Structure 1
Amino acid sequence: MSQSTVNNTAHRQELDEWRKKIDVIDQQLSALICQRLHCAQNISSLKSRIGEQVLQPEREKEVLNNVLNHADSPRKSLALEKIYRCILEESRLVQHDWKSSQPDIPAS
């Protein structure tokens, strides 16, 4: 067996190991995102009871700042910001969907 074949096999094994780690992380992330969306639904209920709007820009800025403080590089910070903007948007949609599905709570 040639050295390049041995190296290629070793690299493939390493690639498989990294992919397995990502699969585990993705399972954890999806579970956590589902929990987050459940929290957003509960928050929507509370906002409705106290007369607050779904969209709260100051809170979203606070969430983004909290997340971006954990980035260890500018590139990761930019990626996290993009990801969290999507998460925040989807959370708002969940809140709007929940709110509009409630018969006694007018959607805003």
Structure 2
Amino acid sequence: MDISDWRKKIDELDEQIVRLISQRAEAAKAIGELKKTADLPVYEPKREQNVFDHVRAANPGPLADAEIQHVYERIIDVMRTLQRRDQ
């Protein structure tokens, strides 16, 4: 494959990633609504640590575990913002 083929593949993967992030955001939004009803905090450090442990364990590479965790730190930060915005 040449560079244009790889870029086309990246574009296709990005579209899949956006769809999955949107699905994750819908789930986070639903959880945020449940937290609000139950008067629970948006920020749950133990749950976030569980997510980080889970994604590191599922990581096949080539990103290092610390790098995949960094990506998820940002994703979770955005999801927390979404939950706070809806409260």
- The alignment's TM-score, normalised by the length of structure 1, stands at 0.74
Q: Does 1:89 pair with 2:81?
A: no
Cα deviation code 1:55-78 (max 9, x no counterpart): 000000001111111223484312
CA RMSD of aligned residues (A): 1.5
Which runs of no fewer than 5 residues in structure 2 stay unpaired? none
Aligned partner of 1:69 in structure 2 is: 57
How far apart, in 2, do the equivalents of 1:19 and 1:77 lie?
A: 25
Q: Give the number of aligned pairs.
A: 87
Which protein has the larger Cα radius of gyration, Structure 1 or Structure 2? 1
Query: Which ranges in structure 1 are unaligned for 5 or more consecutive residues?
Result: 1-12, 100-108
Runs of 4+ that moved beyond 6 A: none
TM-score (norm 2): 0.91
Once the two structures are aligned, what percentage of the paired residues are identical?
Answer: 31
Higher relative contact order (CA 8 A, sep 6+): 2
Three-state SS of the structure 2 residue aligned to 1:69 is helix
